[in-house]
Structure 1
C-alpha cells in the first residue's frame, strides 16, 4: 500500500488529496460560502470563528470594514496571521469557547464553519439583530470509517445534530431563519488518501496509527482495488440565526 505523510499539511487545506482527485465529496443542497458572502455584503463588523489557516476566509473578499478571526489550534494561528493580517483581518487565538477575546455586542455577523462554539458566547458578542451562520459536521460524520476500524464514535459528539444545535441556539435568544441537514457521499480512491485524511483529523480515530490498524486498512484497500473507491457519508447541517 502507498502511505502518505501529512508533513505538507498546514492550515485547513486538503488540496493534496482533493485537487488530485484522490478524495471527492458529494454536493449539498446549500452553499455555505454563497450565504456567507450575502451576509458579509451587509455587515459592518464580523468574526470568522475557527478560521484554520485562513484559506476559506481569504476567498470571501471584499471584507466588511471591521473583521476579526479566531483559531484555537495553535499551529494554525501563525499561518492564519501570515495569510489574513495583510488583508486587514485581526487574528486572535483562544483557549475556551466560553471565553472569547471580544467585547459584548462587538459584531453584527459571526461566521462559523465546522468549529465548536458556545451559543451563549456567540449571543454575547452579537449585536441585537446580528446574524450567526454556522455549518457543522454532525456527530455521525464518516461513521463508516469508525465501523471499518472498529472504533466507536466519540460519545461526547455522537448526538450532535441539527435538532440539538437549533434547540441550544433558540435557548440563547435567537430566531432561526434557515436550517437544513443532509448526508452526502465522500469517496477515497486510494488507501493513502484515507490515511492522509485520518492523520489530518485526529478526532475521527484518536489513536490512529498505520501499525495499529494495519488489518483494517488492508481490508479497505482490497475494497478500493475491487470497487474503485471506499465510500463514507458526510453528516452536515447549516443554521442561519438572528439575535433577538
Structure 2
C-alpha cells in the first residue's frame, strides 16, 4: 500500500482506452451478473448471419466469441476506443451513441450492446430485420450510488435507467420485450488508486470528476479504506431481450 499521493498519481496515470478492466485485479472486485453475458452473446452470434455491436468500447467482449457472423459490424463514439475496437473486430464505424446509425433498414439479425450510454430504441428497431432481436446488458438505476454520494454528497436517483422505462421505450419502438431481468451486485474498492481510475473511466459516476477537484474527498476515501479495508458500493444491471415482429 503506497502513500495517498502515490496511489492517486498511479490511478490518474492509467490509460483509459478500451473497455478492459483487468488493471483492477487485486485492487477492486465487482460481483458478476448470474446470466453470463459474454457466453450468452457468443451463443447468439453463432446462430446469425449478421450482427451489430452498439457502443462496443474496445470490442473486447464481442471479440471473445469463438465464432462471429459473416457480417459483424460495431459502432463506437469515442475515437480512442474506436481505434482499439478496430484491432479487435472486423468492421467498426465511429458513430454517435444516440444515433442515427449509419446502416440501412432491416440489415441485422441481431443487435447487441453491453452497458450502452444511451439506447437508441427507434434506430435499433429500424436496423433489425423482422424477427431479429436486440440483446443487451445495461446499467440500472442508482448504480454505485454509494460511491457517488460519498464523493458528491446525497444525490437524487433518476429512474431513467430503470427497467420500466426500458420496457416502455422498447415497446414504443415496436419491439416485443422477451426478457427483462434486474440484479444488484456488490462492488468493493481496496485502494484509492482504484477509485481514481474507476471515476476517470466510468464518467457518469461522478460527472466532471478530476483529482484536483475532489482531492479532499479522495483523502477521506483513502482514510476510509485504511480503516475498513475496502469501500463497498452496489452496482445495478439488467438484461433485456427484445424482438422485432
Q: 2:41 aligns with which of 36, 41, 44?
A: 36
Q: 1:175 Cα shift?
A: 1.6
Q: Is the 8 A contact 1:48 1:110 kept in 2?
A: yes
Q: 1:134 Cα shift?
A: 1.0
Measured against aligned partners, the alpha-carbon deviations of 1:96-152 in whole angstroms (never above 9, x if no partner) come to: 523100000000000011112211110000001001001111231111111111256
Alignment correspondent of 2:75: 70
Alignment of 1:75-224 (within 5 A): 75-84=80-89, 89-95=90-96, 97-115=98-116, 116-150=118-152, 158-224=159-225
TM-score, structure 1 as length reference: 0.91
Cα distance, 1:152–1:69 mapped onto 2, change above 3 Å: farther
**Structure 1 vs Structure 2 CA RMSD:** 1.7
TM-score, structure 2 as length reference: 0.91
SS in 2 for 1:5: helix
Residue 27 (str. 1) matches residue 36 (str. 2): no
- Structure 1: how far apart are the matches of 2:230 and 2:105? 49
- For structure 2, which runs of at least 5 residues remain unmatched after alignment? none
Q: Is the 8 A contact 1:151 1:205 kept in 2?
A: no
Cα distance, 1:154–1:109 mapped onto 2, change above 3 Å: farther
- Structure 2: how far apart are the matches of 1:25 and 1:92? 30
SS in 1 for 2:46: helix
Q: Is the 8 A contact 1:6 1:199 kept in 2?
A: no
Q: Is the 8 A contact 1:114 1:136 kept in 2?
A: yes
Q: 1:154 Cα shift?
A: 8.1
Q: 1:200 Cα shift?
A: 1.4
Alignment correspondent of 1:5: 12
